[in-house]
Amino acid sequence: MRETETGARQRVSVARLTLTDFRCYRHQRLETGPEPVVLTGSNGAGKTTLLEALSLLSPGRGLRRARLDEMGRRHGDGPAPVWAVAARLRTANGMVDVGTGRVAGGSASARDRRQVRIDGQPAKTQAALAGVLGIAWVTPEMDRLFLDGTSARRRFLDRLVFGVDPTHAGRIGAYERALRQRARLLRQGAADPVWLAALEDTMATNGVAVSAARREVTARLSRASAEGASPFPGAVLEARGMVEQWLDEGPALSAEDRLRVALDGSRRADAEAGGAAFGPHKSDLRVRHMASGRSAAACSTGEQKALLIAIVLAGARVQMAEQGSVPVLLLDEVAAHLDARHRAALFEAVAALDAQAWYAGTDIGVFEPLKGRAQFFAVEDGAATPLWE
C-alpha cells in the first residue's frame, strides 16, 4: 500500500461541493465531513443530480452520460447555459480544488468540450482528474449492465481501472482520438497512407496497453472479490476480445504488431462500415457468479445487483491496496433495493473501507443504522439542507 511521508494512509473525501446553474440547481453549496453522506427526498427532488455532479469530477460523461448542453439550468428558451461543478477535496497532502463545466464565449467546439481545472490551473484533458480523485458509482440504470450491450460494461470496467492506474484514462483518450481521426480520413477517401499508418501505430501501442491493464485489473478484482464481504457473492471477471486473445497467446509487442497489421488490412471495410473492426473498443467484460459458475446474465435480478455491488467494493479494496486510497462511492437508491442483511453488510463494508460514500434514497428509514455515523441532507426542489444540525 502506498503511504504518505508521515506513514498515514492516503484518504480523499469531498469537503465542499458547489453547483452553479447545474440542472435544477441555481446555486448550491454543501459542506461535508469525511464521513458518509445521506441524501434523502422525493423522486425528482435533485438527489441524483448531486451524485451526477460528483461523477463529473472523474473522466468521462458522468453517471447519466448526458450532453454538456443538457446539464445547464435552463432560463426560458435561450441558448444552452454555461454551468459549473466544483469541489474542495481533503487529501493526505492538504486541500485540493477541482472543477469542471461548460464555458462561456469562445468557439462552439470549446463550449462543447468540458473544461477542467485543478487548483485553479486548466488541465489539458479530463484524464488528469483520474490522478486526483477516484469515483465509483452504482445507479438504478446499471441494473441491466450484464444484459445490455458491451459499451456500458467497458465503461464500467475502465472506471475501475482508473482507480488502480490513473494513467489508463490518458491511454484511452489517446486511443479514441486516433480512432476518430482514422475513421474521418477513411471516410474522406484517398487518405495519406503514411498518416494512416501513424494513427494506426498510436492505436496499436495505446490499445494493447488498454487491454493489458483491463486484463490485469480484472484478475485482481476476481481475487479481491473472492475475499469479499459476505453475504455479497464472489465474482469472476474477465476482459475478452481479439486484443486480449492476442495477449493470451504472446507478448504485448507481438499483440501490437498484430493489431497494426489487422488495422492496415481492414481499411477498406472500415471506410465502408465506419469505425474499426479491431481494437479494445470491441472488447467486453464477462462476469460469472463465483459460487455457481453461472454467467451474470443468467443470474437473477437480485444476484446481479449483489454481484454489481460486490465488484464495486472489490474495486475499492484493490485501489486501497494499490494506491493507498479508496474511491468516493456514489450509491443511488442502492440500499432500498437490498434486504436488511445485505443492507447492513453494505454499510459495514463501506465503514471498513473508511470510504466517503454518498447514499441517495427516498426512504430515510432505510438509513436509520447510519444515524450518528453519516451526515444527512434533505433534498427538495433543487435545494439540499442539512438535517439535525
Here the CATH number for the domain that contains residue 383 is 3.40.50.300
Model confidence band, residue 20 (pLDDT cutoffs 50, 70, 90): very high
Tell me, yes or no, whether 30 and 98 share the same domain. yes
332-363 residues labelled b (16+ CB within 10 A) or e (exposed): bbbbbbbeeebbebbbebbeebebbbbbbbee
Nine-digit cell at 378? 434533505
- Any idea which of 103-112, 164-173, 300-309, 349-358 has the lowest mean pLDDT? 103-112
11 pLDDT more than 90: no
- Residues 77 and 148 reside in one and the same domain: no
Q: What pLDDT is stored for residue 228 in this prediction?
A: 72
154 and 232 together in one domain: yes
- In a shared domain, residues 313 and 167: yes
Task: Let me know whether 252 and 306 are in one domain.
Answer: yes
Is the pLDDT score of 167 beyond 90? yes
| pLDDT of 9 higher than 60 | no
Does 130 lie in the same domain as 9? yes
Q: Mean per-residue pLDDT for 174-185?
A: 96
pLDDT at 355 over 90: yes
pTM: 0.92
**Angle of the 193-226 helix axis to the 252-265 helix axis, nearest 10:** 130
Residues 183 and 244 in one domain: yes
Final residue belonging to a domain, choices 309, 324, 339: 324
Question: Could you report the per-residue pLDDT of 266-323, keeping only the tens digit for each?
Answer: 999 999 999 999 999 999 999 999 999 999 999 999 999 999 999 999 999 999 998 8
What pLDDT was estimated at residue 300?
A: 95
Q: How would residue 4 be classed by pLDDT, with cut points 50, 70 and 90?
A: very low
Q: Find out whether 87 and 37 touch, Cβ atoms under 8 Å.
A: no
Average pLDDT, the chain: 92
Query: Among residues 380, 222, 351, 346, which one has the least CA distance to residue 296?
Result: 222
* Mean pLDDT value across residues 86-94: 93
Indicate if the pLDDT at residue 93 is higher than 90: no
Instruction: Print the domain residue range for 76.
Output: 1-134+328-389
**pLDDT score of 58 more than 50:** yes
Q: What is the mean pLDDT of residues 139-156?
A: 95
Determine the Cα–Cα distance for residues 21 and 239; give it in Å rounded to an integer. Answer: 39
pLDDT of residue 5: 36
* Residue-level pLDDT at 324: 85
Q: Return all residues near 353 (Cβ < 8 A) that are at least 6 apart.
A: 313, 316, 317, 320, 326
Decide if 385 contacts 378 (C-beta within 8 A).
yes
Note the pLDDT of residue 8: 41
Provide mean pLDDT across the span 30-59: 96
**pLDDT of 165:** 93
pLDDT of 6 above 70: no
Q: Are residues 305 and 366 in the same domain?
A: no
Of the listed ranges 6-15, 99-108, 164-173, 351-360, the one predicted with least confidence: 6-15
What CATH code is carried by the domain that includes residue 205?
A: 1.20.1050.90
94 torsion bin: left (phi>0), alpha (psi -120 to 50), beta (else): left
Q: Residue 110's pLDDT is what?
A: 53
Q: Tell me which of 105 and 340 has the higher pLDDT.
A: 340
* Same domain membership, residue 254 and residue 147: yes
